[in-house]
Amino acid sequence: MAKTKDIKLMVNGEMVARTVPFRLNLVDFLRKDLGLTGSHVGCEHGVCGACTLEVDGKMVRGCLMLAVQADGATVATIEGLSTSGRIAELQAAFHERNALQCGYCTPGMLASALEYVERDGAADRHAIREHLSGNYCRCTGYQAIVDAIIDVIEGRTAP
């Protein structure tokens, strides 16, 4: 039995069909088979959050899901979230607040932040830090990231 499967899924608004090995995880599939290298691979065991991306409307760890499991799913990576404009405000605020330095964590950080903002999360530093607790940043100390997210939330709720 060939240890592969034909899968079809929607990635960033485009239908793709590929044959993938069972053991291939979703983020490696997106990076290597589709060339979408925006999602980063950090720890490969779900601790660092660099591979956070959206599957069927929910943010998940791209390293803790197999590509075959995404058969039929709708996936949005940082490339899709940028193109669609969904994270435009967050990107601008991260830029403005200097909320990234090396940028390795940023795609995952933006994805997690987007989930918080889109769920109408409060402009509460503690709650934001709890929400981002699964995303490591080794440069910023998180302060500027939290500042940026608060800017976006306050910008959205301002009259």
56 Cβ neighbours under 8 A, 6+ residues apart: 73, 74
Give the pair of three-digit tokens for residue 113: 């932040």
Binding piece for other proteins, criterion CB under 8 A, among 11-19, 41-49, 98-106, 143-151 = 41-49
Q: Is 152 exposed, middle or buried (0-12, 13-18, 19+ CB in 10 A)?
A: buried
Which of 11, 27, 50, 65 contacts other proteins by CB under 8 A?
A: 65
What's the CA angle centered on 117, arms 37 and 49, to 5 degrees?
A: 40
Task: State the minimum distance, in angstroms, from the CB of residue 96 to other proteins.
Answer: 25
Question: Is residue 19 a contact point for other proteins (CB under 8 A)?
Answer: no
Contact residues: other proteins, CB under 8 A: 1, 3, 5, 21-23, 25, 28, 44-46, 49, 52, 58-61, 63-66, 68-69, 71, 112, 115-116, 129-131, 133-135
